[in-house]
Amino acid sequence: MLENVRNSNHKGPILIHTITQKGKGYEPAEKSGDKYHGVSKFNILTGEQKKTTSNKPSYTNVFAETLIKHAHQDTKIIGITGAMPSGTGLNKFEKQFPDRMFDVGIAEQHTVTFAAGMATEGYKPFAAIYSTFLQRAYDQVVHDVAIQSLPVRFAIDRAGLVGADGPTHAGSFDVTYLSTLPNFVVMAASDEAELVKMINTSVKINDRPSAFRYPRGNGVGTNLPGINETLEIGKGRIIKEGKKVAVLNFGARLEECKNASEILLKKGIDITIIDARFAKPLDDKLILEIATTHEVVITIEEGSIGGFGSHVMQLLSDRGIFDRGLKFRSMILPDLFIDQDTPEKMYEKAGLDSQSIVNKIKETLDTNIIFAKNKV
């Protein structure tokens, strides 16, 4: 076809309409229902994928099932996705509410603007989008949602590193680009129970946009709360109280923080662990209390520079906390795209695993900062 176009004597524009067949040429993919759209490592000869099984619920399923429960009680709740019904779990929502689920195709910008329009008419839209794909609709998020302070709920799947989905699907930047916007509520779930509470909370937010992020994969196996249990906006929680060092977690690194705490305790270092829950608004009171009663404050998140840690640092700077000698470190994703691997290995490479937390704390405690005055 391309050769025909190249050799054509036609003087005007030529439209090429190509219909692709997903999986074509690889028999296991052709026979697969999803045509190998998203795969883990697999045997090239047989097509067998190396998948692990778990009794713990996936975050995606927890989102879908919780939203369905709310939708049974509130007819204004609708689901919107951009060609990712199965990836976001909204295919389950659609089975029960076919008239309240909208798949707008591979058009994230339209997903957001459509959600904004529905919000103006009193509906409660949940726009379920992968973090990396929401980037494509940032202009719409700003102009069609945030400036008008419309109560669109963004369910941001694939937050952080995503294992088999690789660097193209890594959710690295959403906290940074959403937390800079006025009027937004930005949350990150540390486990599946927290995700339920954040969904519950977003249902009640009717005066501004909100977003809650959650990772690819399974939860930690905790009991799930009911749909009436909500969070106080901008309030974190204390997981463990220690001395000298405080770790402020935002997102699903909480278990790694707990593991690091156990390792450090054996070395005589008893740390405080905070689950921040909110990047915006911050829990100013809790953060300032922690910063004035500890020698070291470390933030950790599954996101890039400019996110939760940057906002905490700005708060501490504005309040003059650094003038008192506080040691502060922010653990974030490194400035590179990390290749596909297991999530564990990817986070180890990123320096966000439990051993990296231990090392960061020890290095910070051992640092002696000397301020030398210039002699006149």
Q: What angle do CA 337, 338, 340 make, to 5 degrees?
A: 130
Query: Residues near 361 by Cβ (< 8 Å), separated by ≥ 6?
Result: 245, 247, 260, 264, 269, 271, 296, 298
Is 69:20 a contact under the CB 8 Å cutoff?
no
- Residue 82 burial (CB < 10 Å; 0-12/13-18/19+)? buried
Active-site residue (options: 94, 108, 256, 302): 108
Residue 95 is among the residues annotated as catalytic for this protein: no
Question: In sequence order, what are the beta bridge partners of 153?
Answer: 126, 210
Question: Is 22 noted as a catalytic residue in this protein?
Answer: yes
Please identify which of the residues 35, 69, 100, 136 carries the catalytic annotation: 136
Q: Output the six-digit token pair for 357.
A: 């937390």
Catalytic status, residue 136: yes
Residue 179, classed as helix, strand or coil, is helix
Q: How far apart are CA 190 and CA 250, in angstroms?
A: 7
Ranges assigned E (strand) in 34-184? 77-81, 101-103, 124-130, 153-157
Q: Where are the beta strands (DSSP E) in 87-123?
A: 101-103
Whole-Å CA distances, 269 to 247, 260, 347: 13, 10, 24
What is the set of active-site residues? 22, 108, 136
